[in-house]
Amino acid sequence: MTPPTWFTQALAQQPEHRDVVVSGARVHYRAWGPAGAPGVVLVHGGAAHSGWWDHVAPLLTGRRVVALDLTGHGDSDRREDYDPLLWAREVVAVAADAGLDRPVVVGHSMGGWVAVTVGVEHPGDIGSVVVVDSPLNDRPPDERRLRERRRPHRVYPDPDEARARFRTLPPQDVLLPFVREHVAAGSLQAVEGGWTWKFDPDFFGTRLRLRDLLPGVAVPLTFLRCEHGLVSPEMATEMVGLTRAGMPVVDLPDSGHHPMLDQPLALVTALRTVLALGGDRPR
């Protein structure tokens, strides 16, 4: 499938690559757009990386957009232990290093839990939070599945073989092939004996419960619910009731849990709308 023009033009807008040190670990991030413009911070989900936003960030025109690799992911350092409060500090540190003034923080899945944590712990540093299909996460982790996910990565002798094995967590049947290929390629690193995935499997098990976090958020919230994702309409309604001042819920039609992989233009439209309606200004 030939990539569409919008996708190739977005990737042609190469980001700046920068690093900032947070509590002794190097945190990598990408940046697009003019310095001094209103800011947006994009936070990836678990086992993902900042490159998942490469075709989304350039379409948020008129903004200074940054996407970070949380420690244990992408091109950032690994830690012995992963603390959600420290991940939240990484988001704030990246925004400060990029010169963003009270940016909108957008988080997908696990990144949504991190974004909400920023809204609880650092409300004075951000304008608002947008959560993309992050569930309440009430159920305790299955220990057998957790052990499986924490197993060391397989090393593939050939990067093409590794890219062919790329899968999302949770699995998603429909992915745009040109987006999948780009994201999969950026998920690999060269190691002794071949190629393997960049993320640290030890991050699995880091516990974040949206139910505990939502009542403490002191900035405006917006929720983007994927129609075929992890959040049912009933769960979204329950989430709204947990917030201090309500929360608009926008459904992304025909989208799986990872909308940047199957419905990126719908995701961009929703984010543009939130930003145009003053998503970075306190209500």
pLDDT of 283 strictly over 50: no
The residues, ordered by sequence, that sit 6+ positions from 237 with a Cβ below 8 Å of its Cβ are 249
| Bigger pLDDT: 202 vs 139 | 202
The C-alpha torsion from 172 through 169 and 152 to 76, rounded to 10°, is 120
| Kind and range of the H or E run holding 22 | strand 16-22
d(CA 235, CA 241): 10
The letter for the amino acid at 199 is F
All residues at 6 or more sequence positions from 51 whose CB lies less than 8 Å from its CB, including other chains: 30, 67, 74, 182, 183, 186, 187
> Could you give the CA distance from residue 280 to residue 283 in angstroms, rounded to a whole number?
9
| Confidence check: pLDDT of 199 > 50 | yes
- pLDDT value at residue 206: 83
| pLDDT tens digits, one per residue of 212-224 | 999 999 999 999 9
The pLDDT mean for the chain works out to 94
Please enumerate in sequence order all residues whose Cβ is within 8 A of that of 187, keeping only pairs 6 or more positions apart, or say none. Answer: 48, 49, 51, 166, 197, 198, 199
Element (H, E) at 169: none
Return left, alpha or beta for 187; rule: phi > 0 is left, psi -120 to 50 is alpha, else beta: alpha
Using a pLDDT cut of 90, give the percent of the chain over it.
87
Query: How confident is the model over 30-51, as a mean pLDDT?
Result: 97
In the predicted model, what is the mean pLDDT of residues 86-90? 98
Identify the three-state secondary structure at position 171: coil
Write out pLDDT tens, residues 18-37.
999 999 999 999 999 999 99
What is the mean predicted confidence (pLDDT) over 213-241?
Answer: 97
Q: Where are the beta strands (DSSP E) in 33-126?
A: 39-43, 64-68, 104-108
- CA 50 – CA 58 distance, rounded (Å): 13
